[in-house]
């Protein structure tokens, strides 16, 4: 009797292990690394549902996408292959060829019901195509042509659908419907509708690709989320926080629906941003801190994104994974989880063994976008800007990618090995080779981010005027000593350091790394056109103690030309090891720890 019972339990356990999981892949849009609460980069972001997903699974601190732009990033995700293999190098190189095998097609062949909701973006015509050609592509390259049984495809206001939100099939799919409600709400409702329909097929696994169109511009102020954001922040930042909060609440609704339909224990969930936040031009309010750079750059700020996965019983809960992973791994992991044979055409790896303790072989990740290219083999990252600039970084360095942290001269052998691997990879692409020229706009992006050029550490001379490159000290003295800028008051008035020539458009984020004592300090600023410091232009902050960091957001949209950093009252000496000022149009930084 006991042996029979054990046999039954063993068979049941084997059947459970062999069951194909449901797969839910969620892609947000222009969502910076800082805007995942669990990453701990910004105190204003609130993502309780995403944080809960991370607690139930794994948070990848070095999760990447294949491109710093929407179309190629989505092509890489959907195919599991570097998008350059099929020629979708950037937003102007669409659509995704029908000959490419998508993840939906792979899973559909394995018996899955497949559905897509939200932004698709893989039906875009190539640059220079006629309007008629673009319209034709709109019909012929939609998700239902790429392996999806169902779709509710659209970014804003109108959607091409196979089913209405009531769950009923439309007469001539995919039909165009309009819905003027806030886009995240509509897209969440469509995802819930797809899940409701799965009740009719309880034994059939499903794959849902939910692509929320947020916090990408155009920005909105959706309620009830916008009213809950801090009023002192710039409007764009508040709008981004509201849109991210809407996605976060939508995630909670989706996960509750999974529980309702009995799918919460056998669903593999991924949440990933499609690329970093844009900071210049049309800032969408999202932040990439502490990474440098933005959308449109192969720097960490452009390609490193929020990245979370969960699967109860298969991914250890509460894990934090610090090795690099990439969106290509979604397809490889899903294919393995579905019981399909490994396909060498896939460029990603199955993450499940790695997350469960298996020894992982070293891997190299690659990027080629516009006039930029990069290769990452933990912890080193080689960046090529055209054929004239090479940079080598240790991505675990807290100082990030900057002209000061470039290791090319110290580790030329590492750079040479990575460059050879990058060249070999590039030779396998549809258009082979690496960029041979550097776009002027890209050059400006890297320079303003401080990656190819940053202000030299200033020599501060107390009590006299200084050039725009320097900080000056008033009501005290400031000197470079013992690896820091030491600020000592000389009387009852608080000492402060000041600098003109900031010339960065707000909103600005200031990051101070302390050296010595702390206390209540403040920052004041003067914008372009103002001849004096106004009482309203002041923000209080806690001056950081030795080795600690403080982040300050200045709620100003105009160009800031002059800053004062004011030390605590009471004659308390303070110090700074480093100072960074970041805005949508660039960044300036000072390292006081070395000359």
- Distance, CA of 79 to CA of 61 (rounded, Å): 23
pLDDT digits (tens, 9 = 90+) for 459-501: 343 433 333 347 888 888 888 888 889 998 887 778 889 888 8
Point out which residues pair with 485 in neighbouring strands. 480, 576
Enter the CATH code of domain 367-448: 3.30.1120
C-alpha torsion angle, residues 261, 266, 271, 272 (rounded to 10)? -140
Burial class (CB in 10 A: 0-12, 13-18, 19+), 485: buried
Report yes or no: 488 and 495 within 8 Å, Cβ to Cβ. yes
Q: Is the dihedral of CA 451, 454, 457, 462 positive or negative?
A: negative
Q: What is the mean pLDDT of the chain?
A: 89
Structure tokens given for 358: 């298996």
- Residues designated as active site: 70, 121
Q: Which helix (H) or strand (E) holds 574?
A: strand 574-583
Strands 574-583 and 549-554: unpaired
The pLDDT, as a whole number, for residue 7 is 31
Among 136, 174, 178, smallest CA distance to 157 is for 178
DSSP string, 327-343: THHHHHHHHHHTTPPP-
The region of weakest confidence among 254-268, 316-330, 551-565 is: 551-565
Domain ranges of the chain: 30-357, 367-448, 472-591
pTM of this prediction? Answer: 0.77
Q: Which helix (H) or strand (E) holds 517?
A: none
- Distance, CA of 564 to CA of 497 (rounded, Å): 6
pLDDT digits (tens, 9 = 90+) for 208-235: 999 999 999 999 999 999 999 999 888 9
Backbone φ/ψ region at 474: left (φ over 0), alpha (ψ -120 to 50), beta: beta
Q: Which residues contact 131 (CB under 8 A, 6 or more apart)?
A: none
Enter the CATH code of domain 472-591: 2.60.120.430
Among 315, 275, 119, smallest CA distance to 209 is for 119
pLDDT digits (tens, 9 = 90+) for 415-452: 999 999 999 999 999 999 999 987 777 877 887 777 88
- Domain spanning 30-357: which CATH class is it, in words? alpha beta
Tell me the H-state helices in 123-269: 131-140, 183-197, 235-260
The pLDDT, as a whole number, for residue 131 is 55
Among 408, 319, 305, smallest CA distance to 356 is for 319
Tell me the H-state helices in 183-222: 183-197
Among 122, 125, 182, 177, smallest CA distance to 152 is for 177
Among 304, 550, 296, smallest CA distance to 448 is for 296
């Amino acid at each position: 009797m006991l042996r029979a019972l054990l046999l039954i339990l063993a068979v049941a356990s084997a059947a459970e292990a062999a069951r194909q999981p449901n797969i839910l892949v969620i892609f947000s849009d222009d969502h910076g690394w800082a805007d995942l609460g669990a990453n701990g980069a910004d105190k204003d972001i609130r993502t309780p549902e995403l944080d809960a997903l991370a607690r139930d699974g794994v948070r990848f601190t070095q999760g990447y996408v294949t491109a710093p732009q929407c179309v190629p990033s989505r092509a890489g995700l959907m195919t599991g292959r570097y998008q350059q293999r099929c020629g979708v190098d950037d937003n102007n190189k669409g659509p995704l060829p029908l000959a490419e095998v998508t993840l939906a097609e792979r899973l559909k062949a394995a018996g899955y019901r497949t559905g897509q909701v939200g932004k698709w973006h893989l039906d875009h015509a190539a640059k220079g195509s006629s309007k008629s050609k673009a319209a034709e592509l709109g019909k012929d390259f939609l998700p239902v042509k790429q392996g999806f049984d169902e779709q509710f495809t659209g970014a804003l206001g109108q959607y091409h659908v196979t089913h209405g939100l009531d769950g009923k099939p439309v007469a001539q799919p995919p039909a165009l419907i309009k819905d003027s409600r806030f886009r995240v709400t509509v897209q969440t409702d469509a995802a819930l509708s797809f899940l409701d329909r799965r009740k009719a097929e309880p034994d059939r696994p499903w794959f849902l690709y939910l692509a929320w169109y947020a916090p990408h511009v155009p920005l909105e102020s959706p309620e009830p989320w916008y009213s809950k954001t801090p009023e002192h922040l710039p409007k764009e930042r508040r709008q981004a926080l509201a849109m991210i909060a809407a996605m976060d609440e939508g995630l909670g609704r989706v996960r509750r629906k999974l529980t309702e339909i009995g799918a919460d224990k056998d669903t593999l969930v991924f949440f990933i941003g499609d690329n970093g936040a844009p900071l210049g031009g049309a800032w969408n309010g999202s932040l990439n801190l502490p990474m440098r750079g933005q959308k449109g750059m192969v720097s960490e700020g452009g390609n490193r994104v929020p990245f979370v996965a969960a699967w109860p019983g298969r991914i250890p809960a509460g894990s934090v994974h610090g090795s690099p992973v990439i969106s290509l791994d979604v397809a490889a992991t899903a294919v393995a989880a579905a019981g399909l044979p490994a396909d060498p055409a896939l460029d990603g790896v199955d993450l499940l063994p790695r997350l469960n303790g298996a020894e992982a072989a070293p891997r190299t990740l690659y990027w080629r976008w516009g006039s930029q290219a990069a290769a990452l083999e933990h912890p080193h990252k080689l960046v090529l800007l055209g054929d004239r600039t090479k940079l080598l970084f240790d991505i675990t360095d807290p100082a990030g990618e900057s002209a000061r942290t470039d290791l090319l001269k110290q580790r030329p052998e590492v750079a040479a090995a990575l460059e050879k691997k990058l060249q070999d990879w590039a030779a396998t692409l549809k258009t082979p080779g690496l960029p041979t020229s550097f776009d002027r706009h890209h050059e400006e992006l890297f320079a303003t981010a401080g990656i190819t050029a940053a202000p030299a550490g200033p020599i501060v001379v107390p009590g006299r005027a200084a050039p725009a490159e320097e900080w000056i000290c008033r009501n005290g003295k400031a000197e470079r000593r013992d690896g820091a800028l030491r600020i000592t008051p000389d009387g009852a008035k608080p000492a402060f350091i000041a600098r003109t020539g900031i010339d960065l458009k707000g909103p600005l984020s200031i990051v101070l790394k302390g050296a010595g004592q702390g206390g209540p300090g403040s920052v004041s600023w003067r914008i372009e056109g103002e001849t004096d410091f106004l009482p309203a232009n002041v923000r209080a902050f806690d001056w950081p103690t030795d080795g600690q960091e403080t982040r300050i957001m200045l709620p100003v949209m105009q160009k800031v030309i002059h800053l004062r950093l004011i030390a605590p009252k009471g004659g308390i000496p303070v110090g700074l090891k480093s100072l960074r000022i970041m805005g949508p149009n660039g960044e300036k930084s000072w390292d006081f720890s070395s000359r």
